[in-house]
Chains A and B, each alone.
Chain A
């Protein structure tokens, strides 16, 4: 599904140039659950952002589903993104002014799904995430675990092929964290490819494969059995 080759990304300030990704190459197959690990500043988040088409690489190739997208402009990336990728963030990033239902509904609105279909699909996914009873609450009224369920619901409502999770349990206690990991595992078992950035060895154990980064390069790959 994903193949990146010699990917480079630099961050420049007036005086310093930092290399975030240094000729990084890797592949992720459809249906895989991959964890990316490494110390702060190793380039994990940069990689995830490029994979998620939120950022573009300075050099190298990024093939998504057989299409080279490294040179895509923002509009094309955005279009590809909204139909194929769901995001889960450490800090949930729900929109405070919208209810649980409306937050989950939002991606469907932007992809032009009809109102009746939206209700059906949102209810379906809220049910699956077991937060149906909170559908009319606002994010501030929910616990961290509940908020992350909503965020996951929002990430999957468009049935993306790929979910990118950036420290999904970082703001959660261990019990809520485990719940979220179970949810991701379920999704993966139903066929969604998952790439997750994490600091937690415990969470990484849910994945099939761990890619360890240091200074923008792959230093090790562990295959989980």
Chain B
């Protein structure tokens, strides 16, 4: 019997190639896009799950500052982990990770700059599932010169040689011995540190040997005694089986902190489950999860649109199959047998679409991975991926097959045979609703695309309050900092170098802040934090930042006790006349001498925060060099030559500020291009369906059109008649889509502190665009039907 079903189904597809291709094309495109998106969602949701103890691992954060300066510190102070392990019973183990930007590593003639290196505790390898595959598992770091590297690092530096025991040089002369190798990280790991050094080494270098002092009076014996350096990612492994009361744990950590550094109180602690780290912010609010949700919903919508095409075309055309269904019934088929027959037909079409979809997915996978920043592989062993694909396929199949099969199998044979099938109004209304739904979804996506595009343009064109054009920056290494003036003079000899300055922070992406401040009239309960910017005297003029009150630094000795603050700081401090007021920042007691106009020194997702400029050239390690678009190469060459002079063969790393600015919005850009694609796909699939329906509509109306023409209707009237039926639906879709799109996109924009206003132009464009595309689609068929010879159509219509 099933053979018979499939045979009929196959012949039906062959006999109706036009509709079959529309259906297959729509389903294929829908499946490819829907599946790719769902795989993306699945991958995002799978982050860090491979860690077997993931459920018991928490990341610790601290809330600092109040008001606009309130922020969450993901990097906390080192002693918390040590104290927690000792004093908090539910804590089984802890790990800290500390990063220091990038540094050059050398082995023989190979020198690479590595970003992914970190200092960590040995517990890193056992608390997480990053077990050593080479080396002594119990002692990953036998001494402070040990390093553990990933497999790909081992390949990169040592090729086929055994990495264990090899000595690499960090920077100029730090000798490090490889004592362990861990496997490469899974793509869905939040941790990607490929060179790991013992935290004890950092302690040794920064505290024990360096005699680090905080206030120039007391020396800090070790990092575990330093309650001020917020530099350590800290993870606690809680004892399994204990019911976790995170609030209580947070209170205990807070108590430890406040007991040891009372002046920080109150200092609320945060705990975040490891599994939430990738998609949520430390305080539990939505991070990437909102994009994941959006993409999940959009994926489902695209699949639904594709299903709707199938449902609409097959139910619309079911009238043409009424005779066949009736005969089958008269001959003896029961409803279930017929139902199964139509299910078989849909399944067959679906299998064809799925095969095309898989083929396309394999071909497009590399581009998709590049586009989405993922490393998804469609290998047979990835159970999760196939489960996701299978569930999607079955869901889509069910959604598109059951209704048409029920409808077709429920025909009353007698009426159907006489051509009096009354799938009539109810069914047509249902189809109309589906068309409206399709177009509403498409229009919402178009609205989304337009608004995201506008916001991205806004970001690109935004006046940041400083001039970042053609500025390249690089970080000076130890030897260079004392020789900055020589370097500067030398570089200025090149006419391609228009200006040069330095700062103690990355101007585009931000840097550190401090809450250790005091000023005249500081409210008792204020815990305001300042972004600290160490500046050379010419930093402001270099970046064309404006001083709106007072004066800037002159480079005089007295400047070391002078502060410039930004407008937001003035407002937050509650100062009326800031100039001349006393301000203490950490150990520097001084005077405010000027107010700088607000500028964006961090992502424009964030509000401008209070900032303080300090004249502190000795701590300015970041060089900024202004050039022109045309002469950039020459400026780079000069800078590189200077670099070589001080750093030998360590590679010269530099970035243009425009680039690092753009990099901050990579995710937003990606969302933008993905949305471009989604809305394009959605409208294509919807129009495919509309095209099919319009064709069908013209087909069944051939006779009506013929009669109207004989009676004197003009071609344009007939086109109008055919188009009107669908245009009403598109207009209803627009009316539905506008509020939905407005609501959804307002929510998206809420994540930006600085954003565009949504104007009616967007809706006009989206609605107009959809109408135009739909009209064009319908017209192809309408015109054909309208100009046909009525004599012919009347004959055929009999």
Contacts and interface: CB of A to CB of B under 8 A. Distances in A.
B332 A110 contact: yes
B709 interface: no
A107 B330 CA distance: 9
B417 A82 contact: no
A193 B324 CA distance: 26
Interface string B7-45: 110011001000000000000000000000000000000
Contacts of A102: 4, 7
Interface in A82-119: 82, 87, 89, 93-98, 102, 105-107, 109-111
A55 interface: yes
Contact of B328 (A81, A105, A106, A158): A106
Contact of A75 (B324, B327, B334, B337): B334
B413 interface: yes
Given A55-B414, A93-B323, A109-B1, A82 B12 contact: no
A82 B332 contact: yes
Nearest to B335: A75
A102 B7 CA distance: 10
B703 interface: no
B552 to A, nearest CB: 86
Most chain A CB within a 10 A radius of its CB, from B15, B330, B417: B330
A132 interface: no
Contact of A95 (B327, B337, B417): B327
B177 interface: no
Nearest to B3: A115
A93 B327 contact: yes
B12 A81 contact: no
Contacts of B414: 49, 54-55
Contact of B333 (A96, A105, A110): A110
Interface in A44-87: 49, 52, 54-55, 75, 78, 81-82, 87
A154 interface: yes
Contacts of A97: 8, 11-12, 15, 324
Given A49-B414, A54-B414, A96 B324 contact: yes
A105 B331 CA distance: 10
Most chain A CB within a 10 A radius of its CB, from B11, B326, B331, B417: B331
A76 to B, nearest CB: 11
Secondary structure type dominating chain B contacts:
helix
Contact of B331 (A49, A75, A96, A110): A110
B15 A110 contact: no
B721 to A, nearest CB: 26
A89 B331 CA distance: 12
Nearest to B327: A93
B324 A78 contact: no
Interface string B331-346: 1111001000000000
A90 to B, nearest CB: 11
B622 interface: no
A166 to B, nearest CB: 10
Interface size class, chain B: 20 to 34
A87 B414 CA distance: 12
A78 B8 contact: no
A106 B1 CA distance: 9
Given A49-B414, A54-B413, A93-B417, A107 B331 contact: yes
Interface residues of A, number: 25
Contacts of A93: 323, 326-327, 330, 417
Contacts, number: 57
A167 to B, nearest CB: 13
Contacts of A95: 8, 324, 327-328
A94 B323 CA distance: 9
Contacts of B323: 93
Contacts of B537: none
A49 B415 CA distance: 11
Most chain B CB within a 10 A radius of its CB, from A75, A97, A98: A97
A93 B321 CA distance: 12
A111 B7 CA distance: 19
B257 interface: no
B106 interface: no
Interface in A124-140: none
A49 B15 CA distance: 31
Contacts of A110: 328, 331-334, 337
A78 B329 contact: yes
Contacts of A75: 334
A138 to B, nearest CB: 9
A221 to B, nearest CB: 27
B796 to A, nearest CB: 16
A23 B7 CA distance: 46
A13 to B, nearest CB: 12
A144 to B, nearest CB: 17
Nearest to B338: A110
Contacts of B327: 93-95
A87 B330 contact: yes
A111 B332 contact: yes
A54 B330 contact: yes
A49 B416 CA distance: 13
Contact of B332 (A49, A55, A98, A107): A107
A87 B672 CA distance: 63
Contacts of A55: 414
A82 B330 CA distance: 8
Nearest to B16: A97
A109 B333 CA distance: 9
A105 B328 CA distance: 11
A75 B7 CA distance: 26
A54 to B, nearest CB: 5
Given A97-B12, A110-B337, A81 B4 contact: no
B8 A98 contact: yes
Nearest to A53: B330
A78 B332 contact: yes
Interface in A143-179: 154, 158
Interface string B597-608: 000000000000
Nearest to B323: A93
A201 B329 CA distance: 31
Contact of A109 (B4, B11, B326, B413): B4
A78 B337 CA distance: 13
Nearest to A87: B330
Interface in B289-331: 323-324, 326-331
Nearest to A107: B331
Contacts of B330: 52, 54, 81, 87, 93
A108 to B, nearest CB: 9
Contacts of B4: 102, 105-106, 109
Nearest to A105: B4
Interface string B443-455: 0000000000000
Given A52-B330, A106-B333, 10 more contacts: A54-B413, A55-B414, A81-B332, A93-B330, A95-B324, A98-B8, A102-B7, A105-B4, A107-B332, A158-B332
5 contacts: A93-B330, A98-B8, A110-B328, A110-B332, A110-B334
Interface of B: 1, 4, 7-8, 11-12, 15, 323-324, 326-334, 337, 413-414, 417
9 smallest beta-carbon distances between A and B, as pairs: A82-B332, A110-B332, A97-B11, A107-B331, A93-B327, A54-B414, A110-B333, A95-B324, A107-B332
